[in-house]
Every structure is written in structure tokens, then in C-alpha cells.
């Protein structure tokens, strides 16, 4: 194998050992929740999207793809419940540029693997390809996404979503949508 290919073929051992256990109803419920989330975001049904979240949930889009301590790093997005709801208000209120020039999006989420299991939670990693259209311009964003899904009396809920854009260190423009 050429050395340049070997250098780019770095694989996380946690992902190699991961799987999507189709016989685990929690894994299927988690994937269904993630697909529902994608549908609600593309439909701009942000208040319904907020209802998918567990109390105290974190929505993170880090700049550094390797970051794990988001509180001590600069992020594109680092929202708790309050900040997530403020972001939704800006997107739906009609008074901000993000609302006035909102992008239309279609996303595909695939390559699901369970990378962590707890008694009441699963960590699911996936790939997301988002195609957007805004101001006569079409663009594509790709990301590795990690969801932490908790299971309680109200069913599965998102307790953390980390969106690691493949181009996270490039120039970022106002998007007018949620990842």
C-alpha cells in the first residue's frame, strides 16, 4: 500500500470493534430517533426537534475534530438547553438574518455503529451528508456525528449530539439551519 494511502487510513479502534446490534431494540430505537431528527431538521420543525432532547442535553459542533473537552475549547456551537432554545428562537422568529434567509436542506444519515453501551444509554456514531440550498447556491457538508441516546419513561431522547464537520477548520459562514 502506498505510504500516502496508509497515512490517511487511520482507523479508530473503538469504531472497528463497534457494530449495530440489530437484535437490540434500543439500537433500533436510537437509529429511528436519529432518522426522525434528520427529518424534523430538514422540515425546519425546530420546536418538535427540541422535544427529542433529554433535559440537560448538549448540542456541540467543535472546531477541533479531535476535541473531547468542549467546555475548554472553542466550538462553532456548544449549546445547553437554554442556548439551544435561543438558537431555535432566532431561526424561527423572523427577525434575524438566519431566519430571513434560511437554507433548505436534505440530509442523509447512515453508517450507524454503537460505540458505547450503558444500562440506560447508547452512544451511536454515524455519517451525515447534508445538501443545502441558500441564495441560489447549493452546498454540501459532511460530518461524523455522535449521538448519546438515553432511555427513560418517555422513550429515547438525545442527551448529547456532537457534529464533527470534515471541514470544521475552514471558514464558516452563517448557515441558517441546524446540523
Q: Which residues of 46-61 are buried (b: 16+ CB within 10 A; e: fewer)?
A: beebbebbbeebbbbb
Q: Is there a domain that residue 179 lies in?
A: no
CATH number at residue 66: 3.10.450.50
In a domain, 1, yes or no: no
* Helix boundaries (H) for the chain: 3-8, 13-16, 25-42, 46-50, 81-92, 97-100
CA atoms of 151 and 84, how far apart (whole Å): 21
- Confirm whether 109 is domain-assigned: yes
Question: For each of the chain's 179 residues, which pLDDT tens digit applies?
Answer: 444 443 333 344 444 456 877 778 999 999 999 999 999 999 999 999 999 999 999 999 999 999 999 999 999 999 999 999 999 998 887 665 555 567 899 999 999 999 999 999 999 999 999 999 988 889 899 999 999 999 999 999 999 999 999 998 887 665 678 88
In a domain, 152, yes or no: yes
Q: For residue 2, tell me if it sits in a domain.
A: no
Report the domain count for the chain.
1
Distance CA 98, CA 54 (A): 25
- pTM for the model stands at 0.84
Q: Is residue 84 situated within a structural domain?
A: yes
Give me the phi and psi of 158, to 5 degrees please: -85, 125
What's the domain range around 136?
11-165
Within-domain flag for 174: no
In a domain, 4, yes or no: no
DSSP secondary-structure letter at 43?
A: T
Amino acid at each position: 500500500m502506498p505510504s500516502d494511502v496508509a497515512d490517511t487510513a487511520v482507523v479508530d479502534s473503538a469504531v472497528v470493534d463497534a457494530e449495530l446490534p440489530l437484535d437490540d431494540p434500543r439500537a433500533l430505537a436510537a437509529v429511528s430517533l436519529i432518522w426522525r431528527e434528520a427529518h424534523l431538521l430538514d422540515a425546519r420543525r425546530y420546536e418538535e426537534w427540541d422535544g427529542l432532547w433529554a433535559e440537560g442535553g448538549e448540542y456541540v459542533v467543535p472546531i477541533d475534530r479531535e476535541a473531547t473537552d468542549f467546555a475548554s475549547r472553542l466550538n462553532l456551537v456548544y449549546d445547553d438547553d437554554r442556548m439551544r432554545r435561543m438558537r431555535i428562537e432566532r431561526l424561527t422568529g423572523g427577525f434575524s438574518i438566519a431566519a430571513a434567509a434560511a437554507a433548505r436542506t436534505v440530509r442523509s444519515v447512515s453508517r450507524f455503529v454503537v460505540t458505547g453501551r450503558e444500562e440506560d444509554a447508547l452512544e451511536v456514531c454515524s455519517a451525515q451528508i447534508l445538501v443545502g440550498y441558500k441564495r441560489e447556491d447549493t452546498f454540501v457538508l459532511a460530518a461524523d456525528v455522535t449521538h448519546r441516546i438515553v432511555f427513560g419513561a418517555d422513550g429515547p431522547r438525545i442527551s448529547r449530539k456532537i457534529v464533527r464537520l470534515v471541514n470544521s477548520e475552514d471558514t464558516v459562514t452563517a448557515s441558517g439551519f441546524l446540523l
